Structures are given as structure tokens and as C-alpha cells.
Structure 1
Amino acid sequence: MHQIWKSFRALYFASLMMLIGSGLLSTYLALRLAADNVDGLWIGALMAANYFGLVLGGKIGHRLIARVGHIRAYATCAGIVGAAVLCHGLTDWLPMWLLLRVIVGLGMMCQYMVIESWLNEQADAKQRGVVFSLYMIASYLGLVLGQLILVIHPQLGLELLMLVAMCFALCLVPVAMTRRIHPAPLHPAPMDPKFFIQRVPQSLIAVLGAGSLVGSFYGLAPLYASQQGLSTELVGLYMGCCIFAGLLVQWPLGWLSDRYDRPLLIRILAFLLALASLPLALLPSVPVEVLFAAGFLSALLQFCIYPLAVAFANDHIEPERRVSLTAMLLVTYGIGASIGPLLAGVLMKIMGSQMLYAFFSVAGLLLVWRIRPNDVTNLHQVDDAPLQHVAMPDSMSSSPLVAALDPRVDEQVVQDQMVDNVEPQGESEPQPEVHPQDVTQETERKE
């Protein structure tokens, strides 16, 4: 473990700084608009725009990395994201903020792709599970620390935007200073939506529901807590506790997932989510203790749905298709995370802030209705199913390339897909500029 941490600490630090900045930015924008009495529809739209940018970045990132290389792509995106963050302080025009959120999401997805492809390239096949787990811990820890900054600095001034931009500047340093060789370029895995809809429909429904739940939580929970009368410090503490619940539940969830029927677990946890969210949905105002306890339990259950759905899908997909499956799942998640905040924002605008948790309850009941363990035929179940459960970060902090780090995906399968997906030679792509230092590093690696 120590050796793995030492080998990849630069990439983990880059992920940590990115997620500190991202988590702080989401909560800051929600609180800033709430202080200006902007309705929840705009706040939900901002989070939807961020996830739209993440999905868009999944397609653009491959081309950018192939054109200019990993370090230059990462540096470019970090610079663009930092500039977009600071632009929030130059204008209060909300349509411009929507565009800026799309740019931030797009740039961050490209950064995720660089880090994850680098981790996969350098990680030994037997160590990928540990490498993946430490990456997930760094991601969740960054999101939690981003919220806790509000406890230390509750003023909603431009200083927080500067701090977010500083985080994106610092995340550039370890990647720009690395002496490692660029990893091999990864090509986008071909998606076949019709195949996956026919093969794993219930998994896709669960992922869609998880996206709408978690996207609504990140975008609108700060607004809900603010309208409950919490100060900025308590809002940051509330969000930090809820996100920490998502990290805390991953390991006991893995134990349950490996021993019990996964669709049944999804259904049970979705029902428990509906019950846990009910007190906050029915009561327009609750004591702070109840708010923290019910919010912690609701978030804990929300963050269970996506990892279980991913594990359930992998049980019914052949190894050679699992990289494509991950891309399909993340696109589905992004669609849910784009729609959920908009729907919840409309409900909060019309019927009050408690409608956020009413939305969570209804979404949980819809999952109970649509996830039917008895309808699972197991006709296409892989031979070694159920596969070992792997704790998954939510899609706010991962890219389609995260499949390459998944221990359930054979490393040779990933490499074969990379070769198979290379387009036929036609008009050649522009090649990254080669510097003397790059040549020296390549020679040292060969020696």
C-alpha cells in the first residue's frame, strides 16, 4: 500500500485538488444564488449544465489527448477551467453561468481521462484494485474538504472563486512536473446502446435513477439547507457529512453485494431511501439534529445505488464489452444527472424547498417499481458471476476510462480494445510535438 501511494501520490494529489475545487464551486454557486433569491430552477439548471459538460467531455477528451498528448491536454483544460471559474465573478448573467458550467464540466472530464489513463498505464495488473480504491478515496475526500472550506470561510465573496481557481492551478503542478512517459493514447470504446438496453435494462434504469438522485443532491441540497435556516458554515458541514456518508458506505456495501442478490439489494435500498427521505419531505421545517441525521442517512442510501447497478450490469456482460459498458453507464448517469436537478428545481420553485426530499422519495419508489429481481432471467450471466463488487466513485469524479482501472476488466482485454478501435489510416491526425526531453525520457525507459 505504501509503495502504491508513493508511486501515484502526484496523480492522487491532482485528483484531490480538482475535487476540492469542484465540490466547493457547486456549493458556492448554489448558496450565492440562494442569497440573491434566485429560484431553484436556475440552480438545478447549473448542475444539469455541469453534467452535460462532463458527458460532452467524454467524447472530446479522446480527440484532444490524441492531438496534443496527455500533459498538454491536461494543462490546457486546467487553464480553461480556472479561467471559467474566475469568469463567474465577472458577470451575474445566469445564461453565461450556464455556459461556464458546461465548460467547467467538459474540461474536468478531460482531466479525469488523463489521470485515469495514466493510472492504468502505470499500475500493475495485480495492484489495480488498490490503485482504484485510493483514487476513489482521494476523490471523495476532495469533495468533503471542498465543503468544509465553507466552515472556515463562510463569506460568499469572490475569495472563494479565487480559491477554486487556485485549486485548479495547483492540480496542474504535479502532472506538469512528472518525469513519467506519456501513456499510450486510448481510443473511445464503441457504444451499442441497443445491445445494452436489451441486455441490462434494469441496470440502466438504476443508473439513470442514481444520476437523477445524486445530481439533484449536489446541485440543490445546499439550497435546501440554506432555506432551512442554516448558516453558510452549517451548510458546508451538512454537505460534508452527507458526502462522507457516500464514502463510508462503500465497503459494507461491497460485503453485502458479494453475498446477496444485487437487484434485490437495489430494490431494498431504494425503498429505505424513500422512507429515510420522507420526514424531510413532509415537514417544511425540522430541527438541525433531525436535518443532519435524516440527510446523512438519505445520502448514504443514495450513494449505494450506482455501485450496485454497475456491479449488476457487469454480471451480465462479457469481459470484452465491459469497457464499452462503462461508457454506456456513465452516459446514462449523465443523462439522469442532467434531468434530475431540473425536475427537482421546478418542484422546489412551485411547492417549497422540502420538495427536494419528496423528489428523493418518489425516485426511490420508482426504482422499487421498476427494479424487479424476479424478471432477471440470468440467461446471459457470465460464468464467474456474481463478480467481486468494486467500490465506484460517483460519476462526478470519473470518466469512461475508469473501466481500465476496474479489477473486473482484464488488462489484456483493455489493450485489445485499444488496438481494435484504432481507425483505419486515412488522413493522418496531427501528431503531438516532440521535445528533446520527451526523447530522452523515451530512451531512458527503453534502457
Structure 2
Amino acid sequence: MIAAFNQVRTFLLAIFMIMAGSGFLSTLLAVRLENDGTAAPLIGLVGTAYFAGLTVGSLRVGGLIAQIGHIRSIAAFVSVFSASSLSYALWQDVAFWAVLRFIDGFAIAGVFVCLESWLSERTDTRTRSSALAAYMVALYLGQAMGQFLLNIGEDAPALPFMFSAILLSLALLPVVLTRVPQPDIGELQPLSVKRLYAISPLGMIGTAATGLMLGAFYALAAVFVRRMGLSLADVAFFTSCAIGGGVLFQWPLGLLSDRFDRRKVIVAIFLAAALVASAIALVGDHRGLLFVLGSLFGGVAFALYPLCVAHTNDHIEAHERVGASGGLVLLYSLGAVAGPLVGSLAMAVAGPAGLFGAIGATALLATGFGLWRVYAADPVPSEDQSAFQSIPRTSAVALGAEEESSEGR
């Protein structure tokens, strides 16, 4: 692990600073719009714009990076992101902020593709898994710590956006000053939805459902906490608890899925997510219990995506792994685009509890689908299951490289 860390420490520092400077923006914007009396569906629209930009960016940035190189590309993407962060302070308007969030999503997609392809090229089959695990920890740790920047804007509303731009700009330094050679990346062609469903129905549906659940959570959890009467500091702590739980639970649940029928583990985790989400909806105004339940929700929900990827890889040929990874990232992103809209409509109909009610309903539907798949098809023999990998839900580049490395194990 130490050797893997030393190989990619430049990228770990960069992603930590980028997520610390940008990971809290979705929460901050939701809180600002909520305080201004904006309707939940409009707040959800701003959240959807980010995931729409992330989806489009994931499909389009590869060509640009191939033309001008990684260093120039990441400098361009982070510069645009920094300028966008400052622009939020100019004018608080739903349409204007939605456009900026789309730009943010497109820019961060470029950052993910740059850093992850670079990271994968600098590691080998022995160190790549550890390097990606360290990358994921740095990403989530930066995102969790960045949440506490929410607390600095009560007297100076523009201050959080300034700190965001500062951190994003400084994050460029480790990258533009590095002596690490730049890699070449090829075009990624995702498998068709029809082919993905034929390969692994549960992997495909589970991935899309996870995207919907987490897209709704990221866009609207802050609104839920505020409408429950809690403070801005509580919003930051709740979000950090969820992210921290996600980091802590992934490996134990992943190792459990390596020992038993992975489909049953996925079904059990979806059911657990449904129960925890329902509990949050029912007891959301109990401060201490809310933080505990938030950690549990993050623990189970964040584990679902890598488990669905692993389950899909149990059923595919080696030459299809990169394309399948790209297809799953796209499905996750499309689910995340729908999540804020579904969650906000549920809040408009049922009040704040509607958010986690909708998330719980999605998880319950996925549970039902998973139970059907358990009884409709035979399990993969344990000796043929691919090993679980704790992977980021960012770009398909790292996923594809990781699957290629698994062929050598």
C-alpha cells in the first residue's frame, strides 16, 4: 500500500484538494436555495444539472484530452471549475445556478478522466488495486472535510465560494509541476443497454437504482436536514457521516460478497438501504439518531455500486470488461440525473420525509427485482466470482484499467 501511495501521491493530493474545494457545493447551493424559499423541484433541477454535465462530460472529454494532453486538459477543466465556483456569488438564480452546475459536472468529468487514466498508467497489476483504494479514500476524505466549509458563510455569503476557488486553483500545482509522464488514452465504447441487461440484469438495474438513490441524496439531503429544523453545522456533519460510513463499510461488505452468492448480498444491502432510509424519514428530527442512521445509510448505499460492478464482471468475457465498465458508469450517471427530480417531487408531495421515502422505495423495488433474479437464475460458482474491488463512481477509465489488471491476478 505504501509503494502504491508513493507512486501516485501527486494525484491523491490533487483529488483531495479538488473534492475539498468542490464536494460541498451541492450541499451549499441546496441550503442557499432552501433558505430563499425555493421549491424543492427547482432545487432538484439544479442537482440534476450537475449530473447531466457529468454524464455528457464522461462521454465527450476523452477526445479533448487525447488532443492536448493531460496537463493542459486538467488545467483547463480546473480553471473553468474555479471560475464557475466564483460565479455563484454573482447572482442567486435557479436557472443561472443550473447552468453553472452543468459546467461543474462537465469539468469534474474531465478531471476524473485525466487523474484516473494517469493514475492507472503509473501503476501495475500488483499495485493498481491499492492505488485506486487510496484514490477513493482521498476523494471521499476531501469531500467529507469540505462539508465543514458550509459553516463559514453565515456572515459573508460569498466566502465559501472564494474558498472553493482557492482550493481548486491550488489543486493544480501538484499536477502542473509534476515530472510524471503523461499517458495516452483510447476511446471508450460502452456496451449497449440491451447487451448489459443480457449479461447481468441485476448488475444493470442495481447500478441505475444506486445512481438514482445517491443522486437524490447528494442534491437534497441538505434540504431534508434543514427542513427538519437542524442547523447548518448539522447539515455538514450529517453529510460527512454518510460519506464516512460509505468509506468504512465498502470493504467488509465487499469481502462478504466474495464468500457468498453476490446476488444475495446485493439484495440484502438494498433491503438494508430501504430500511435505513425509511427510518431516516420517520425519525429525521431526532438529531443524534439522524447522524447514526446517516452513517448506516452511507455505509450500505455507497457499497452498492462496486458490488454491482463486481456482479456484472462475474458474467462477462475479458474483452468486454472495459466496455461494460463504461456502460455501468453511464447507467449510474443517468440514474443520478433522475434522482434529484424524483426526490424533489416526493418532497413536494409528502414533505421533507418524502426524500428518503423515495430513496427507500427505489431500494425496495431493487430488492424485489434482485429476489426475482436470485430465483430465476443459478448463482455463479464461488470459484468463478471476480474479486471485489473498492472503486470510485467517477469515470470509466479507472474501472476499465482495474478490470484489465484483474486479468493478470
Q: What is the TM-score when the length of structure 1 is the normalising length?
A: 0.87
1:115 paired residue number: 115
Correspondence list, 1:227-376, <5 A: 227-283=227-283, 286-371=285-370, 372-376=373-377
Offset from partner CA, 1:209-234 (integer Å, 9 cap, x none): 10011111111111101111111111
Offset from partner CA, 1:258-279 (integer Å, 9 cap, x none): 1111111111111122222223
Shift of 1:349: 1.7
Offset from partner CA, 1:101-153 (integer Å, 9 cap, x none): 11110011111111111111111221111111111111111111111333566
> SS of 2:127's equivalent?
helix
Shift of 1:21: 2.0
Task: Provide the rounded CA distance (Å) in 2 between the counterparts of 1:156 and 1:123.
Answer: 44
Offset from partner CA, 1:78-108 (integer Å, 9 cap, x none): 1111111111111222112111111110011
Root-mean-square deviation over aligned CA pairs:
1.9
Task: Provide the rounded CA distance (Å) in 1 between the counterparts of 2:282 and 2:234.
Answer: 22
1:163 paired residue number: 163
Q: Is the 8 A contact 2:52 2:105 kept in 1?
A: yes
Q: Is the 8 A contact 2:53 2:104 kept in 1?
A: yes
Q: Is the 8 A contact 1:16 1:139 kept in 2?
A: yes
Shift of 1:155: 5.1
What amino acid does structure 2 have at the position aligned with 1:409? E
Task: Provide the rounded CA distance (Å) in 2 between the counterparts of 1:412 and 1:267.
Answer: 27
1:409 paired residue number: 404
Task: Provide the rounded CA distance (Å) in 1 between the counterparts of 2:353 and 2:185.
Answer: 47
- Range that drifts further, 184-193 or 151-160: 151-160
Offset from partner CA, 1:361-397 (integer Å, 9 cap, x none): 211210111112122346xx6995211100122x2xx
> SS of 1:181's equivalent?
coil
> SS of 1:92's equivalent?
coil
Shift of 1:290: 1.9
Task: Provide the rounded CA distance (Å) in 2 between the counterparts of 1:342 and 1:143.
Answer: 23
Shift of 1:190: 4.6
> SS of 1:392's equivalent?
coil
What amino acid does structure 2 have at the position aligned with 1:366? L
Q: Is the 8 A contact 1:319 1:410 kept in 2?
A: no
1:176 paired residue number: 176
> SS of 1:164's equivalent?
helix
Offset from partner CA, 1:417-439 (integer Å, 9 cap, x none): xxxxxxxxxxxxxxxxxxxxxxx
1:423 paired residue number: none
1:211 paired residue number: 211
> SS of 1:126's equivalent?
coil
2:31 paired residue number: 31
Task: Provide the rounded CA distance (Å) in 2 between the counterparts of 1:384 and 1:324.
Answer: 24
Task: Provide the rounded CA distance (Å) in 2 between the counterparts of 1:401 and 1:159.
Answer: 35
1:375 and 1:156, CA in 2 relative to 1: closer, same or farther beyond 3 A?
farther
What amino acid does structure 2 have at the position aligned with 1:14? A
1:82 paired residue number: 82
Shift of 1:58: 1.2
1:188 aligns with 2:183: no
Shift of 1:156: 6.7
Unpaired runs of 5+ residues, structure 2, are none
Aligned length: 406
Q: Is the 8 A contact 1:132 1:405 kept in 2?
A: no
Task: Provide the rounded CA distance (Å) in 1 between the counterparts of 2:155 and 2:195.
Answer: 50
1:187 and 1:28, CA in 2 relative to 1: closer, same or farther beyond 3 A?
same
Shift of 1:325: 0.6
Q: Is the 8 A contact 2:190 2:327 kept in 1?
A: no
Correspondence list, 1:10-49, <5 A: 10-49=10-49
Q: What is the TM-score when the length of structure 2 is the normalising length?
A: 0.94
- Range that drifts further, 269-278 or 382-391: 382-391
Identity across matched positions, percent: 32
